Chain A
Amino acid sequence: MGAINPLRWAAVAALSCTLPIIAHHSFTAEFDSGKIVTLRGVVSKVDWINPHIFVYIDVKDDAGKTTTWALQSLPPLFFRGSGLTKDLLLSNKQEVTVTANPAKDGTAAYGFMTKLSYPDGHVFSMSPQDADPNLRKTQK
């Protein structure tokens, strides 16, 4: 299998310890780093706002009902100069696989996004472990 398998990536993310992600608020006061939710859906909306951007994912269940997940990410300035923009996130209409830490207060469809994987294998990852180039090579 020459192509990168996005599903295997998702499995890696779910089975390894996804380190708690860092935001300028207290992440741990709001999100449960001990739980990971894996979603498949389409990016339907992005709020490019402080103190953290929000990415909305439309997830269809087996009955065809759509639930929109609101997923917090990092502060807008963190993305400056990287090329990752609101337009880029919205331009890809493919189904993506997303892992997130859910809200501690039990709010439905609300969490902190740890990784967004596209079908062609490229990712937007906020796991510190993915910052390590050697680890990235291993994954690829």
Chain B
Amino acid sequence: MISELANHRTLTRAALAAVILTTPIGAPAQTNYAAEAAKNPSAASRPTPRMADGHPDLSGVWHHFFGIGTIQKVGESFVIGGAFSPQSAGLYNAPLRDAKPEYKPEFAAKLKSLNDNQVKEDPTLHCLPPGVPRLGPPHQIVHTSKQAIFLYADNTGNQWRVIPLDGRPHGSDPETAATYNGDSVGHWEGDTLVVDVTRLTDETWLGDNGLFHSRRLHVTERLRRAGDTIQYQVTAEDPEVLQKPWTLSRTITLQPDALEEAAPCVDKDAGHYVTLEHHDNTR
């Protein structure tokens, strides 16, 4: 036993590299939507709370970006669970079945190039903000009669959007710069909050895998509260590069715990990529 120990130390202190034959497995999407919904199965059938003005009250913590619950404590040890545990992988890896945006044919080569080079080209992999719509559904909403504030603890950093609900138009100053989250105004269509977003920078992607867009991007978000869920739908129109509007839907579930601020994002990977392999980074 002692000699085994001594040998082991010698080997390990020399930082022995053992070549092991392994077969890589693809990374799961690690989205939390289905896992969050499963924790609260009757959420959608609860009563929908309303504001004094009669509109649904959207306030609450609704979603966590991804991955919460992946590390689990077992005795004094910590092991991987969530999307990587046989018991819960199905929930975390539930397919989102998103439609793909349809680009004009002349942009096919650009799209392919950005996708092929995602590890270098994806702004979010280098800690830049995802912007709207890639930011996804809000993690928390603070809702008053005059405005809704959307908060996000994104893994690129903390994000916020202030959405006026007082009927004002978009800002009209042409000198105002485009931004990651754009200029949002909201109005109600029945029980659905409709958020119209303009003045978005073209430095972001619509989503994973090289989905670029132009400065003509116009985003419409629709939020409809049903009990303790919100049906979130987002449509991106970009007549410059897309053949037709692109829409995706998410259902987010009221969360019992507080939103925790995101840790700062520091890109330490950029100089170390050797290949261009990448996997999905679905939000």
Interface residues of A (CB under 8 A from B): 1, 7, 10-11, 14-15, 17-20, 22-30, 33-40, 47-54, 59-62, 70, 72, 74-84, 97, 102-105, 107, 110, 120, 122-128, 130-133, 136
* Whole-angstrom distance between the Cβ of A119 and the nearest chain B Cβ: 12
Chain B interface secondary structure, helix, strand, loop or mixed? loop
A103 to B113 alpha-carbon distance, docked (Å): 25
Q: Is the Cβ of B269 less than 8 Å from the Cβ of A74?
A: no
Q: Is the Cβ of A35 less than 8 Å from the Cβ of B266?
A: no
Q: Is the Cβ of A61 less than 8 Å from the Cβ of B13?
A: yes
Mask, B147-172, CB within 8 Å of A = 1, is 00000010111000000000000000
Q: Which residues from B are CB-within-8-Å of A10? A: 8, 12
Q: Is the Cβ of A24 less than 8 Å from the Cβ of B281?
A: yes
CB < 8 Å neighbour of A36 from B20, B64, B79, B281: B20
Interface size on B (CB < 8 Å)? 74
The segment out of B34-42, B180-188, B189-197, B256-264 that lies at the interface is: B256-264
Interface residues of B (CB under 8 A from A): 1, 4-5, 8-25, 27-28, 30, 64-86, 118-119, 125, 127, 153, 155-157, 260, 262-269, 271-279, 281
Q: Which residues from A are CB-within-8-Å of B75? A: 122
A51 to B66 alpha-carbon distance, docked (Å): 12
Q: Is the Cβ of B8 less than 8 Å from the Cβ of A77?
A: no
Q: Which residues from A are CB-within-8-Å of B125? A: 25, 51
Q: Is the Cβ of A81 less than 8 Å from the Cβ of B68?
A: yes
A120 to B76 alpha-carbon distance, docked (Å): 10
Q: Is the Cβ of B64 less than 8 Å from the Cβ of A131?
A: no
* Whole-angstrom distance between the Cβ of B20 and the nearest chain A Cβ: 6
Q: Is the Cβ of B127 less than 8 Å from the Cβ of A50?
A: yes
> What are 24 of the A-B contact pairs (CB < 8 Å)?
A7-B4, A14-B20, A17-B23, A18-B20, A24-B67, A26-B119, A29-B275, A30-B274, A33-B22, A40-B9, A47-B266, A50-B157, A50-B262, A52-B268, A53-B263, A81-B69, A82-B72, A105-B273, A107-B272, A110-B272, A123-B77, A127-B80, A131-B80, A131-B85
Q: Which residues from A are CB-within-8-Å of B30? A: 22, 24
